[in-house]
Structure 1
């Protein structure tokens, strides 16, 4: 039987070195996924599923041991340090059986809190609710995702952490609720539909990446429309979008078009622009494509993050042969299109969609449309 760390490496297509085992476990833990296997398939065929789903059906989804069965403590095959991110061994009498391998460090808790809550206005009301929340309310919501939260942090400590990051969570104010004065924050809270963070369908995208033949590279493209925001605000929003593409789509390169419109010809964008953040602008991206022999999986946020002009998309794909797949990150799902599919009118029509402003910097990218990966 292979160990949990080795299984995580197989899921993410990494060589099972000590460093990669730790990295793979942390990567899955950050998005509330765990490595599991089906008995019929055997333990050498691991898959990634949400921890909640694994815990609810332990008869179907089997867990991997932390260390090899022959070594109850450790061995040179697995990490010598046991931490809270590590998956517990399967034991019918163990209370740790259903424990999830989330990252319970301060940074791990903060990442989860930022995913669930933000003070910034969000137009996508199908994904977030606007609420007045006390620190206890926030703690309770976090505990749903992090069941062992109360063992590593108190409500008071969480309140101090939120206050330290007031630029994201805002500052608490004194407000009368049900006849009593309480300190609370007005926040946008990720709805229950999005709370299966990073549901098992996200694992299908990971599996697709792993199963892809040839030399592939995932490239992220962030487009920010012209606006009157402060430079610091624009930079923060661009960073949010870039980090979401890195985290959800595993992009190795990020190119940014700061100040282009959704219907502007893609190949002409940033022709007169100077240096930009990350790996360059649109022109730098296409220069990168022409110098690389790898297959490109181009990842964008929302259809308009690429273009709202179907004819221009066809032209771009025709002139850029190295783009083999286009991945579109939505609030609730990830869509993926091959070059051939982008020739179909029914697919291209989806991109002619812009009806109003969309806050792409807030997208969680929970993959829910299984057909996108079949």
Structure 2
């Protein structure tokens, strides 16, 4: 992927400014290998999750939506799509959701004001972030799945603090969160 740096604004034949963007493409020799990796990833992941479930793991999904200007019905629809993906594609057993937090908000501070009205409009949701913490601390053999890195947290030290919090939680006499995807 070698590309010379070019100006992003040029002038056309009439002297008018024309903006453009450089498009990076994958070299042909790598295309088949990357396409194969992409197509094989999901089935391998799903087989791995099925094996976890056979070994008595509970696979927990977590979805987070940042604050935005969307109308409530649009916002609920977007979160519901994430919930559905967690169940249908990522094969989770339970889903917990926060409908109004930023990716850099600390995990333990999310949803501390109680239940959000939008949460009641979602299907197949087992609670908010506080409910997630409680569930992990009071159950065994959990695997936490988020759709992407920012779905859980963009702050790695906060993620570490969350794991330590779950581990040291006063009701927990065992380390129930075994893995995070």
Query: If the length of structure 2 is used for normalisation, what is the TM-score?
Result: 0.67
Query: Retained in 1: the 8 A contact 2:146–2:152?
Result: yes
Structure 2 counterpart of 1:225: 66
Provide runs of 4+ in structure 1 moved above 2 Å: 198-201, 209-214
1:195, distance to aligned residue in structure 2 (A) = 9.2
Is the Cα–Cα contact under 8 Å of residues 49 and 91 in structure 2 kept in the other structure?
no
Q: Write the distance in 2 (CA, Å) between the matches of 1:206 and 1:256.
A: 22
The unaligned stretches of length 5 or more in structure 2 are 1-22, 25-33, 167-174
| Cα separation, partners in 2 of 1:228 and 1:273, compared to 1, 3 Å | farther
Q: Does 1:199 align with 2:39?
A: yes
Equivalenced residue count is 135
Q: 1:195 to 1:236 in 2, by over 3 A?
A: farther
SS at match of 1:299: strand
Provide, for residues 225-281 of structure 1, a one-character-per-residue CA deviation record: whole Å limited to 9, x for no partner. 011110000000001111111112101111110111111110110000325241111
Task: Note the alpha carbon deviations across 1:192-223, whole angstroms, 9 max, x for none.
Answer: xx998x82322211222233473201111010
- Say whether the 8 Å CA contact 1:242–1:254 is kept in structure 2: yes
Match of 2:110 in 1: 269
Alignment RMSD, CA only? 2.5
Contact 1:218–1:249 (Cα < 8 Å) also in 2: no
> What is the CA–CA distance in structure 2 between the aligned matches of 1:231 and 1:325, rounded to whole Å?
33
Greater relative contact order, per chain length (Cα 8 Å cut-off, separation 6+): 2
d(CA) in 2 for partners of 1:230, 1:221: 22
CA distance in 2, matches of 1:255, 1:266: 12
2:177 corresponds to which residue?
A: 323
Distance 1:242 1:265, change over 3 A: same
Contact 1:296/1:325 (8 A) holds in 2: yes
Contact kept, 8 Å, 1:221 with 1:255, in 2: the verdict is yes
- 8 Å CA contact 2:86–2:92 kept in 1: the answer is yes
Larger proportion of strand: 1
**Length-normalised TM-score, structure 1:** 0.33
Structure 1 runs not aligned, ≥5 long: 1-124, 127-193, 328-374
SS at match of 2:98: strand
* 1:135-172: CA deviation from partner (whole Å, max 9, x where unpaired): xxxxxxxxxxxxxxxxxxxxxxxxxxxxxxxxxxxxxx
Q: Which string of whole-angstrom CA distances, capped at 9 and with x for unpartnered residues, describes residues 315-341 of structure 1? A: 1112223221111xxxxxxxxxxxxxx
1:6-28 alpha-carbon deviations (Å, 9 max, x no partner): xxxxxxxxxxxxxxxxxxxxxxx
Pair 1:292 & 2:130 matched: no
Greater fraction of residues in helix: 2
